[in-house]
Amino acid sequence: MRRNGEITMDTATKDSFIIEGKLALPYQYFAGRTGSRFIIALRDEKKILGVRCGKCSKVFVPPRSTCERCFSNLTGSWVELKHTGTVTGFTIIRYEEPHQPLKPPYVQALILLDGADTPFVHIVNGVPLGRMKVGLRVEAVFAEKATRTIMDIDHFRPAE
Amino acid sequence: MNLGTFLDGAVQKFGRQPYIQFYDETITYEEFGKRVNILANAMRRVGFRKGDFIHVLVQNSPNTLIAYFAIQKIGAVAGPINGWWKAQEVKYLLNDSRGRGLIIEDQYVPILKEIRTSCPDLELVIEVGESPSPEHISFSALMAEGDTRPVKNEGSPEEVACIVYTSGTTGNSKGVLLSHKNVLTDVEAVVKALRLEKQQTVLVFLPLFHVNAMLTSIFSMAMGYRMVLRKTFSASEFWQVVDQYKVNFWSAVPAVYQILLSDPGRQKYDLRSLRFGVCGAAPLSPETFNKFQETFNIPIVEGYGLTEATGVNAINPRDGVRKVGSVGLPLPGQVIKLLDEAGREVPRNQPGEICIGGDVVMKGYFNRPQETAEVIVDGLLHTGDVAVMDDDGYIFIVDRIKEMIIRGGENIYPKEIDNLLATHPKIQEAAAVGVPDKTMGEEVKVFVIASDKSLTEEEVIDYCKKNLASFKVPKYVEIVEEDFPRNPLGKVLKKDLKKWGLTPRPKKTGADEVTVADIFGTMESRVNPEAVKGVTANLAYVITGSGGGNWTVSVKDGAVKVLEGIHDPNVTATASAEDWIGLILGKLDGMTALSSGRLKVEGDLNLLGRSNKFFKKYTPPAAIGEEREREELIRLDKVLSIPQRFATGPVMGKFLNGLKEKKILANKCSTCGRLQVPPREICAECRVRVTQWVEVGPEGAVATPDVTYYASPDPLTGETRETPYVACHFLLDGCKGHETFWHELNPSDIDRAKRGARVRPVWNEKRVGAVTDIKYFEIIE
């Protein structure tokens, strides 16, 4: 065997190669008590729940345990909302990256549910991109399979 | 002298006197010597040689001893195997000792069948029994050869005579190597210490695979005694045997004394021959010690010893002062020192570790130089037992440094139970400790943290029964809800766990039991206003038994007051506390209780019936806790997997490609001459581009070993690699100084991972151009 014998370096790129691998990113998400109730209602009863602040008479969706304006405790002051609402803003996502819920292009919109005072973000589907506009009436389509996330509403579609 | 010539001397001296009385069979010294020669000649003929490790797995019988001594005669090494061990334990032993031979009794052959193919070093098997398997050599056929020519062992007393395994644990069990000199020195010391007289009959029922019984059979031979040998201990025949053979003494473990004390069958027998009983292996309680002496009027002589020091190292004098709770004085010719942590001798009455010196200290643990070096320091064997020595030199054992459990004289290493249970799919972690027990000295209790709530205590026991010798199976199991006490590194604090003892841990939820006081105490808050509207009456309750008392529920036009004591009742209900709670919780039906007389009512029965509706349902405190627990909380556990690419570049690429061809390439700085392995583009010292390449290794030496005890699970696969494992900086041949290469060492070389140990790479069959093409480095013998 050659020992300590010198070998000249080959600077040609034939020595380079590429190793494909996977990086793992583990994470945990805790919905908390208020968030859990919201998701469980979506999953088990197909109900969209919000909370009402008695002092400000505002209805928040998704629900939270404290009023963002007067800091009242909102725990337990549940209200049920309709499945319909109005788009108050939107964006079209045109670039692709891993772990997106859909293949671009797709629409993410702020939707103010009927009876709510705060809009929340979700996907709007079934509208040609050119016809997407603020003020569009939409309704929730529930997912067939429970995901135990806000994606238990699969998307919103234009209301009849 | 060695054990072979020792036997020759005894045969010559005691000739026709009986040596072994095994049930109806009497074997004289002469006959015993003859049979040993026959077997020794036959074993040589079938191919056994001097120095061979030959294991013996035969229940107490003359053949066990004939086998031991025949092995001594041919200069081989006898390796007794514990007859209670299960297949996995025997397999571990056979592969650890790499013994060539095994003498096995037919009752144990099923164990061998199970593991035969995974014991590659075992070449020759001799079977004791009526119809041995065809693939085994027949013991009786060997004896039938009848070649009685004397076999003489010319070996030195320093040679190894036996290898005795310390306990049945995979990982912990070590082969103790004892020389002829070790054994003969200890035998001589026992004879002196016990001031043994001639012409005695000794009873041996402890298993011959332990040094204790082995030594008894050897010192009996030294004294020309008759040895009444039994297969095993049996309380039912014990006194009859003592009477029939006029037994003078025996050696036993504390459990035996405990059992004998509770057996009234002795009164029929003449026990006047008895002189004394020896007790060892575990501490005897003063209670048993005294009671036994009172009942039988013979002394118990308590002793102490360990396999690593040939078995007997301290003993109380037979007719001198015996101190209760003491293991006595060091044996004549043996050195016992009590040392503190710094290795200094402690003053009298101060605790220190028992350290034993002299000719009884083992040669070492087989194939374990590091462990041997840990216990034998400057010729002194460190026992791990803590003791104090009083002003008269008597030794009192205080504690064990190691966490070993001693149950009825058998050593149990809790770690073995812990490790086994950790493999149970429903168990997250288990920790066994010894708990005090009157009969056995200690019993095993295992605390278990379940990973699956459906785990039951029975499942834990069953799993242990399946995989462990029965003496190691825990008697107590407790599935706990809280974590074990731990040190900052997460290691379970067994000392603290031991303090938990047999008292069950308080339960976290549902711990509040329902009490009668709580039922009445919550009544006012449970009033149903509709139902008591317009009602005015006093209802009295006489609740008997523990937790009972007298209460009056006074209703005045809808206002309810609960008073203690009886106050002008309209109706009085009488029931036991237990039944009352049952009634309230709906577990006992009111009508059944009335008709069976468990509930007695005086006065307005109708009022009592209506009173059911006066109050809302009672909710026990435990149920409130459960309610809360049932609330579902959403938690998402996700592992995102992100694709990544690693481009080697030409330098790392060349190195990795070299591995495919089993070459380890380094690059060499042309300015400072430093080698880098794995190579880098730039010299880390001179910051100049490195262009020269050299091949290094592949052999080398360990520079710095690093043992890893904890490995976190792979988030993608959830698998955790086995720990501990060793990674090292290796200084490959051709490299110097800090030019080391970081890789793993063969995990089974962990004990030998030392700076300077020579290593070579173990290559994977399939090499892909990754650093893992080298599986690991292994130490070269």
The Cα of B683 is separated from the nearest Cα of chain A by a number of Å equal to 15
For all residues of chain B together, what is the average pLDDT?
A: 87
- Cβ neighbours of B15 (radius 10 Å): 13
SS3 content of chain B, % helix, strand, coil (to 5): 30, 30, 40
Residues of A in contact with B647 (CB under 8 A): 16-19
Q: A148 and chain B: CB distance < 8 Å anywhere?
A: yes
Of B343, B338, B339, the closest CA to residue B327 belongs to B338
Per-residue pLDDT averaged across B557-578, rounded? 86
| Helices within B205-250 (DSSP H only) | 211-223, 235-245
Verify whether the Cβ–Cβ distance B650 to A18 is below 8 Å: no
Verify whether the Cβ–Cβ distance A35 to B634 is below 8 Å: yes
DSSP-derived secondary structure for B308-344: GGTS--EE--SSS---TT--BEEPTT-EEEEE-TTSP
pLDDT of residue A17: 83
The Cα of B777 is separated from the nearest Cα of chain A by a number of Å equal to 19
Burial tier of B628 (Cβ tally within 10 Å: 0-12, 13-18, 19+): exposed
Q: B676 and chain A: CB distance < 8 Å anywhere?
A: no
The Cα of A133 is separated from the nearest Cα of chain B by a number of Å equal to 34
Give the C-alpha distances (Å, rounded to integers) separating B172 from A129, B80, B411, B432, B652: 71, 17, 11, 15, 43
Q: Which residue of B has its CA nearest to A1?
A: B695
pLDDT (tens digit, 9 = 90+) per residue, B377-407?
989 999 888 888 999 999 988 766 667 788 8
What distance in Å separates the CA atoms of residue B288 and residue B261, rounded to the nearest whole number?
8
Residue to test with chain A: of B630, B631, B632, B645, most A Cβ within 10 A? B632
Residues of A in contact with B713 (CB under 8 A): none
Verify whether the Cβ–Cβ distance B657 to A35 is below 8 Å: no
The Cα of A143 is separated from the nearest Cα of chain B by a number of Å equal to 17
Residues of A in contact with B642 (CB under 8 A): 22-25, 98
Residues of B in contact with A1 (CB under 8 A): 695
Per-residue pLDDT averaged across B719-725, rounded? 79
Q: B627 and chain A: CB distance < 8 Å anywhere?
A: no
Of B700, B764, B767, the closest CA to residue B729 belongs to B700
Q: Which of B143-152, B413-422, B564-573, B743-752 has the highest mean pLDDT?
A: B143-152
The Cα of B688 is separated from the nearest Cα of chain A by a number of Å equal to 15
Q: A73 and chain B: CB distance < 8 Å anywhere?
A: no
pLDDT of residue B626: 46
Q: Please report whether residue A148 resides in a domain.
A: yes
Q: Please report whether residue A104 resides in a domain.
A: yes
Q: Please report whether residue A122 resides in a domain.
A: yes
What distance in Å separates the CA atoms of residue B79 and residue B57, rounded to the nearest whole number?
9
Q: A57 and chain B: CB distance < 8 Å anywhere?
A: no
pLDDT of residue A110: 96
Q: A23 and chain B: CB distance < 8 Å anywhere?
A: yes
Verify whether the Cβ–Cβ distance A8 to B693 is below 8 Å: yes
pLDDT of residue A13: 65
- The beta-carbon neighbor of B640 closest among A5, A25, A30 is A25
Q: Do the Cβ atoms of B318 and B342 come closer than 8 Å?
A: no
For residue A1, name the pLDDT band (cuts at 50, 70, 90): very low
Q: B628 and chain A: CB distance < 8 Å anywhere?
A: no
Q: Please report whether residue A39 resides in a domain.
A: yes
For residue B266, name the pLDDT band (cuts at 50, 70, 90): confident
- What is the rounded radius of gyration, in angstroms, for the C-alpha atoms of chain B? 36
For residue B125, name the pLDDT band (cuts at 50, 70, 90): very high
pLDDT (tens digit, 9 = 90+) per residue, B737-769?
889 999 999 988 888 888 999 999 999 888 888
Verify whether the Cβ–Cβ distance B641 to A148 is below 8 Å: no
Q: Please report whether residue A20 resides in a domain.
A: no
Q: Do the Cβ atoms of A116 and A63 come closer than 8 Å?
A: no
Provide the number of structural domains found in chain A. 1
pLDDT of residue A75: 84
Look at residue B508 and tell me whether its pLDDT is greater than 70.
Answer: no
Give the C-alpha distances (Å, rounded to integers) separating B603 from B537, B565, B571, B596, B606: 12, 17, 4, 18, 9
Verify whether the Cβ–Cβ distance A4 to B638 is below 8 Å: no
Verify whether the Cβ–Cβ distance B653 to A17 is below 8 Å: yes
For residue B615, name the pLDDT band (cuts at 50, 70, 90): confident
List, as own/partner pairs, every contact residues B603-612 make where C-beta atoms lie below 8 angstroms and the sequence separation is at least 24, other chains included: B603/B569, B603/B570, B603/B571, B603/B572, B604/B537, B604/B570, B604/B571, B605/B571, B607/B537, B607/B539, B607/B570, B607/B571, B608/B539, B608/B571, B608/B573, B610/B531, B611/B539, B611/B553
- The beta-carbon neighbor of B695 closest among A2, A16, A23 is A2
Q: A95 and chain B: CB distance < 8 Å anywhere?
A: no
What distance in Å separates the CA atoms of residue B461 and residue B445, rounded to the nearest whole number?
11
For residue B596, name the pLDDT band (cuts at 50, 70, 90): low
Look at residue A153 and tell me whether its pLDDT is greater than 90.
Answer: yes
- E strands of B669-768, at which residues? 675-676, 692-696, 700-708, 725-732, 741-745, 758-763
Q: Please report whether residue A18 resides in a domain.
A: no
Q: What is the ipTM of this complex?
A: 0.76
Of B357, B406, B374, the closest CA to residue B182 belongs to B357
Look at residue B606 and tell me whether its pLDDT is greater than 80.
Answer: no
Query: What does residue B287 show for φ and ψ, rounded to 5 degrees?
Result: -60, -50
Look at residue B511 and tell me whether its pLDDT is greater than 60.
Answer: no
Verify whether the Cβ–Cβ distance A6 to B638 is below 8 Å: no
Compare B465 and B602 and report the one with higher pLDDT. B465
Q: B693 and chain A: CB distance < 8 Å anywhere?
A: yes
Q: B643 and chain A: CB distance < 8 Å anywhere?
A: yes
- The beta-carbon neighbor of B645 closest among A16, A20, A31 is A20
Range of the domain at A61: 32-158
What distance in Å separates the CA atoms of residue B523 and residue B530, rounded to the nearest whole number?
15
pLDDT (tens digit, 9 = 90+) per residue, B61-101?
999 999 999 999 999 999 999 988 888 889 999 999 999 99
pLDDT (tens digit, 9 = 90+) per residue, B665-687?
999 998 898 999 999 988 888 88
Residues of B in contact with A31 (CB under 8 A): 633-636
Return all residues near A59 (Cβ < 8 A) that are at least 6 apart. Answer: A50, A51, A52, A53, A79, A81, A115, A116, A117, A118
Q: Which residue of B has its CA nearest to A25?
A: B640
Look at residue B222 and tell me whether its pLDDT is greater than 70.
Answer: yes
Q: B762 and chain A: CB distance < 8 Å anywhere?
A: no
Residues of A in contact with B632 (CB under 8 A): 36, 40
Residues of A in contact with B631 (CB under 8 A): 33, 36
The Cα of B638 is separated from the nearest Cα of chain A by a number of Å equal to 5
Look at residue B625 and tell me whether its pLDDT is greater than 50.
Answer: no
Residue to test with chain B: of A3, A7, A44, A100, most B Cβ within 10 A? A7
Q: Give the side-chain half-sphere CA count within 13 A for B738.
A: 3
Q: Please report whether residue A141 resides in a domain.
A: yes
For residue B128, name the pLDDT band (cuts at 50, 70, 90): very high
Q: B719 and chain A: CB distance < 8 Å anywhere?
A: no
Residues of A in contact with B663 (CB under 8 A): none
The Cα of B435 is separated from the nearest Cα of chain A by a number of Å equal to 41
Residue to test with chain B: of A9, A22, A27, most B Cβ within 10 A? A9
Q: Please report whether residue A7 resides in a domain.
A: no
Q: B712 and chain A: CB distance < 8 Å anywhere?
A: no
Q: B489 and chain A: CB distance < 8 Å anywhere?
A: no
Q: B631 and chain A: CB distance < 8 Å anywhere?
A: yes
pLDDT (tens digit, 9 = 90+) per residue, B686-698?
888 888 899 998 9
Verify whether the Cβ–Cβ distance A13 to B650 is below 8 Å: yes
Residue to test with chain B: of A1, A3, A17, A45, most B Cβ within 10 A? A17
pLDDT of residue A76: 80
Q: B630 and chain A: CB distance < 8 Å anywhere?
A: no
What distance in Å separates the CA atoms of residue B435 and residue B443, rounded to the nearest whole number?
5
Q: A29 and chain B: CB distance < 8 Å anywhere?
A: yes
Q: A27 and chain B: CB distance < 8 Å anywhere?
A: yes
Q: Which residue of A has its CA nearest to B693?
A: A7
